Chain A
Amino acid sequence: MAVSEAERGELTRRAKAIRSGIVDVTGWAGGSHIGGALSQTDILTLLYFKYLNIDPANPEWPDRDRFILSKGHGGVGLAVTLAERGYFDPALLKDFGHSGSPFGMHLDGNKVTGVDASTGSLGHGLSMAVGLALGARVQGKAWRTYCLIGDGECNEGSIWEAAMAASHYRLDSLIGFVDRNRMMIDGATEDVMAIEPLADKWAAFGWHVQTVDGHDFGALAQAIDEAQEHAGSPSVILAQTVKGKGVDFMENDPAWHYGGLNADLIARAKASLGAE
């Protein structure tokens, strides 16, 4: 399922709309985890607009593919992606984080349509993904489970407990992504708590590992295709990304892990994205 030129244009348009939406919500909410939301956007765009076997009109469809945002603070980006995909009215996002809104910075799966797990505490998502993949096998279901993990999140021991279990159970229906933007809150991953050689670690835990440009739809799609075909073990795609991707003054700056935007900064961010 390589990405055609027409598809690439459509995905690029969607990703831009989602990034622009993230900037809007950051303004409305008074702040968001914008850096990591922007770095993950191309992965989510490709999954939600090409790969996930889902039906926004029937969000609880039992046979749907599952997506777990293990780096739950990317919730602002997932919310905008779900709205763009038609799960709910994007106007609902104007109240993001406000009192009484269903949307918090970390999404509550009981309140927001289309969210497969309530995440936000790091290091939980991959374990739930392992459970979903096991659940598919036990019940003879064909759904795939996708899980997006932060690179800082890979510090958590529970990620590696889950990684061990996934390969132990040979869960080849499970496809993980690491948003390898090289930043966490307190600085660069390699300065705070080094995780390299990351590909070797995942391989040592029994995963099929691919390293690709996380902003290149063609490369990402090829990696997903290979992961889907790969049998006998889970796959992880180490997506090399840029924190704050698309907004020039945020790119690679850990200060934009979380931030607020006034009207002026919103205008500058939109200009940088080439969005209205």
Chain B
Amino acid sequence: MSEGLTWNVYNVGDMTQREIYGLVLCELGEKYPEIVGLSADLAKSTKIGTFGDRFPERFFNVGIAEQNLFGIAAGLAKSGLIPFVSTFSAFASMRAGEFVRTDICYQNLNCKIIATHGGTSFGPAGTTHHATEDLAIVRAFANLTVVVPADPFETAHAVRASMAIDGPVYIRIGRGFEPPVYESEDYDFAIGRAVEMHPGTDVTVIACGTPVSHALQAAGLLAEQDGLSVRVLNMHTVKPIDREAVLRAVQETRRILTVEDHNVIGGLGGAVAEVIAESGKGCAFRRAGLCDEYSMIGYPEDILNRYRLDTDGIVENVREMLGVEFEEDEDWEDEV
């Protein structure tokens, strides 16, 4: 049905984050009979349908009813099962937000939320289908772990690792056109620990999700063209945030840029800012993201370009930050 430029939302052929997620969930389903799957008429779109096809008696498609979706998941979790629930990020975080907060997080239930089509990844669908506030919202839900994998391999890691957490986890993935960052799953992944993707001493770019791959390319370009040493941290876990990695970056590079496909308010940039401000350490700091506005309509690559979250945008952001003055801290060792 589709070819070339066609954006066939509901039947993507290649291995996307969502497809990998569907497969990993099947693999976990074989091992853990207590896993159940739920969706709200987005079984095909989110790929949790792969699990539903394999384990039809353990899968519930509740129709287009997201509040009910999370309420039912809470009941299933209370009964002793481990629900994996999938819908688009906009609906998981906002439409059903209070059900996620009160039914699942407040009661600290063992429920995994796989929120797909995160950020602006659903570009041409328009702004109702973008989620550029979800991280800010769900980050404020106590008990909830929030993970934003950078690519399909990391998605596989995150889904597996979520099983080791006896509580709610929100995993935000894209729509499937995100470039891979890793070559395989063969790297050290742990929830709550940032991955240093590129060493550096002049500036640190802290990113999550799709922008990680752009940050890496930007680091390469900046080394080549400007002789800059740019550290890239993949902060896949937005909560609990890896404070140590942030503070080490502050101490060792003194310039921090956060990059996320999200409003600059409340998400990764907000989380990093909180850590830095509380440390009392001085550094140059900038958040790249949507500047408190509703996202434009279009292709994801153009959207990332517009908000300067792609390679060119990150390069520009870093260059602009170099001239920024900040107050040097005399005693680095006192708190860090």
Are A and B genuine complex partners? yes
Contacts of B142 in A (CB 8 A): none
Q: Are B128 and A30 in contact (CB under 8 A)?
A: no
Return chain A residues, CB-CB under 8 Å to B123.
99
Report which of A30, A105, A156, A193 forms a contact with B126, defined as CB distance below 8 A: A105
Total interface residues on A, CB under 8 Å, equals 41
Which A residues between 97 and 132 are near B, CB-CB below 8 angstroms?
97-108, 111, 118-123
| Residues of A contacting B5 in the complex (Cβ-Cβ under 8 angstroms) | 30
- Chain A residues near B196 (CB, 8 Å)? none
Bound-complex Cα distance A98 to B302 (A):
9
A267 to B11, CA, bound (A): 22
What is the distance, in angstroms, from B147's C-beta to the closest C-beta of chain A? 24
> Which one of B10, B42, B43, B297 lies within 8 Å of A108 (CB-CB)?
B297
A265 cross-chain contacts in B, Cβ below 8 A: 1
Cβ-based interface call for B2 (8 A): yes
Q: What chain A residues lie within 8 Å of B64 (beta carbons)?
A: 122-123, 152-153, 155-156, 184, 193
Q: Is the CB of A106 within 8 A of B129?
A: yes
- Pick the contact of B125 from A102, A120, A192 — CB < 8 Å? A120
Residue of A nearest to B10 (CB): A258
The answer to whether A97 touches B63 (Cβ under 8 A) is no
Please determine whether B63 and A31 come into contact, CB atoms closer than 8 angstroms. no
Query: Is B251 among interface residues, defined by CB-CB distance under 8 A?
Result: no
Tell me the complex Cα distance, A260–B306, Å.
Answer: 26
Q: How far is the CA of A257 from the CA of B5 in the complex (A)?
A: 19
Please, which residues of chain A bring their CB within 8 A of the CB of B95?
A: 121
Whether the pair A155, B1 counts as a contact (CB closer than 8 A) is no
Q: Please name the residue on chain B nearest to A123 by beta carbon.
A: B64
Given contacts A106-B129, A120-B125, A121-B90, contact A157 B67 (CB under 8 A): yes
Q: Mark A46-81, 1 if CB is under 8 A from B, else 0.
A: 000000000000000000000000001001000000
What is the CB-to-nearest-CB distance from B167 to chain A, in angstroms, rounded to a whole number?
Answer: 27
A70 CB, nearest partner CB in chain B, Å: 12
A135 interfacial contact with B, CB 8 Å: no
Interface membership of B57, Cβ < 8 A: no
Q: Is the CB of B44 within 8 A of A185?
A: yes
For the complex, is B192 an interface residue (Cβ under 8 Å from A)?
Answer: no
- Measured between beta carbons, the chain B residues less than 8 angstroms from A97 are 7, 124, 297-298
| CB pair B8 A186 closer than 8 Å | no
Q: How far is the CA of A108 from the CA of B294 in the complex (A)?
A: 11
Residues of B within 8 A of A186 (CB): 39, 41-44, 49, 61
Among A103, A152, A156, A185, contact of B10 (Cβ-Cβ < 8 Å): A185
Interface string of B115-147 (1 = CB under 8 A from A): 000000001111111000000000000000000
How far is B6's CA from A147's CA once the two chains are assembled, in angstroms? Answer: 31
Contact B41 A260 (CB under 8 A): no
A residues within 8 A CB of B8?
A: 31, 258-260
Cβ of A262 < 8 Å from any Cβ of B? Answer: yes
Whether A98 pairs with B65 at a CB distance below 8 angstroms is: no
A157 touches B65 (CB 8 A): yes
Q: Render A78-99 as a binary contact track against B, CB cut-off 8 A, 1 for contact.
A: 0000000000000000000111
Instruction: Give the distance to chain A from B8, nearest Cβ to Cβ, in Å.
Output: 5
Residues of chain B within 8 A (CB-CB) of A108 are 126-127, 297
Q: Of B41, B65, B126, which contacts A185 at CB under 8 A?
A: B41
Q: Which residue of A lies closest to B95 (CB)?
A: A121
Interface of A is mostly: loop
B61–A262 touching, CB < 8 Å: no
Inter-chain contact B63/A193, CB cutoff 8 Å: yes
Least Cβ distance of A247 to chain B in Å? 13
Known: A186-B42, A193-B65. A118 touches B124 (CB 8 A): no
Question: Which B residues are in CB contact (< 8 Å) with A101?
Answer: 297-298
Instruction: Determine the residue in chain A with the shortest Cβ distance to B42.
Output: A185
- B296 in contact (CB, < 8 A): yes
Would you call B296 and A192 a contact (CB within 8 A)?
no
Complex CA distance for A107 and B125, rounded to whole angstroms: 9
Q: State the CA gap A184–B41 with chains docked (Å).
A: 7
Cβ of A29 within 8 Å of any chain B Cβ, yes or no, is: yes
A184 touches B9 (CB 8 A): no
B185-232 residues with Cβ-Cβ distance < 8 A to A are none
Whether B303 is near chain A, meaning CB under 8 Å from some CB there, is yes
Report the bound CA distance from A258 to B12 in whole Å.
12
Contacts of A107 in B (CB 8 A): 126
The answer, among B9, B11, B67, B127, for a CB contact under 8 Å with A104, is: B127
Q: How long is the Cα–Cα vector from A221 to B40 in the complex, in angstroms?
A: 34
Proximity string of chain B (289-307) to chain A, C-beta cutoff 8 Å, 1 when within and 0 when not: 0000000111100110010
* Chain A nearest CB, measured from B204 CB (Å): 30
B65 near A100 (CB under 8 angstroms)? no
28 sample A-B contacts, Cβ–Cβ < 8 Å, listed by A number? A29-B124, A30-B5, A30-B7, A31-B6, A31-B124, A72-B128, A97-B124, A99-B303, A104-B125, A104-B127, A104-B128, A104-B297, A106-B127, A106-B128, A121-B129, A152-B41, A155-B40, A184-B64, A185-B10, A185-B42, A186-B41, A186-B61, A193-B65, A257-B10, A260-B1, A260-B2, A260-B7, A265-B1
A31-B124, A121-B95, A259-B8 known, 11 other contacts, Cβ within 8 Å: A72-B128, A99-B297, A100-B297, A100-B302, A105-B124, A184-B63, A185-B42, A186-B44, A193-B62, A255-B11, A260-B6
